[in-house]
Amino acid sequence: MLQQTQVATVVPYYHRFLKEFPTIEALANADSHRLMKSWEGLGYYARARHMQHAARTILTELNGKFPETRDALMKLKGFGAYTSASVASLAFGEDCAAVDGNVLRVFARIYAVSDDIREQATKDKIDTLATLELPKGRAGEFNEAVMELGATVCTPKRPKCAHCPVSESCDAFQKNLISEIPFKSKRAALKHHTIAVGVVRKGDLILIALRPKDGLLGNLWEFPGGKQKPGETLAACCRREVKEETGLDVKVLEQFAVVKHTYTHFKITLHAFHCSWVSGEARPTASQEIRWVRLRDLEQYAFPKANKLVIEALLHPAPKEQDLFSQHL
Residues that bind ligand SF4 (CB under 6 A): 106, 109-110, 153-154, 159-161, 164, 166-167, 170, 172-173, 178
User: Which one-letter amino acid corresponds to residue 112?
Assistant: A
Nearest approach in angstroms of CB 89 to ligand SF4 is 21
Measured between its terminal Cα atoms, the distance across the chain in Å is 12
User: Which one-letter amino acid corresponds to residue 122?
Assistant: T
Count Cβ atoms below 10 Å from residue 32 Cβ, excluding itself.
16
Nearest approach in angstroms of CB 173 to ligand SF4 is 4
Nearest approach in angstroms of CB 191 to ligand SF4 is 35
Nearer to ligand SF4, 62 or 145 (CB): 145
Nearer to ligand SF4, 134 or 161 (CB): 161
Nearest approach in angstroms of CB 116 to ligand SF4 is 18
Nearer to ligand SF4, 109 or 211 (CB): 109
Strand runs labelled E in the chain: 191-202, 205-210, 221-222, 225-227, 249-262, 266-279, 289-294, 322-325
Residue 220 CA to residue 54 CA, distance in Å, equals 20
Nearer to ligand SF4, 115 or 232 (CB): 115
Nearest approach in angstroms of CB 133 to ligand SF4 is 13
Nearer to ligand SF4, 60 or 155 (CB): 155
Nearest approach in angstroms of CB 163 to ligand SF4 is 8
Nearer to ligand SF4, 149 or 268 (CB): 149
Residue 246 CA to residue 233 CA, distance in Å, equals 20
Nearest approach in angstroms of CB 243 to ligand SF4 is 57
- At residue 67's C-alpha, the angle toward residues 39 and 50, to 5°, is 25
Query: Do the bridges between strand 266-279 and strand 191-202 make them parallel or antiparallel, or are there none, so unpaired?
Result: parallel
Nearer to ligand SF4, 97 or 208 (CB): 97
Quote the distance between the C-alpha of residue 90 and its chain's center.
Answer: 24
Nearest approach in angstroms of CB 83 to ligand SF4 is 24
SS3 128: helix
Cis before residue 182, ω within 30 degrees of 0? yes
Annotate 147-157 with b (16+ C-beta within 10 A) or e (fewer). Answer: bebbeebbeee
Contact 119, 183 (CB under 8 A): no
Distances (CA, A) of 191 to 25, 64, 214, 227, 309: 40, 43, 22, 13, 21
Nearer to ligand SF4, 127 or 241 (CB): 127
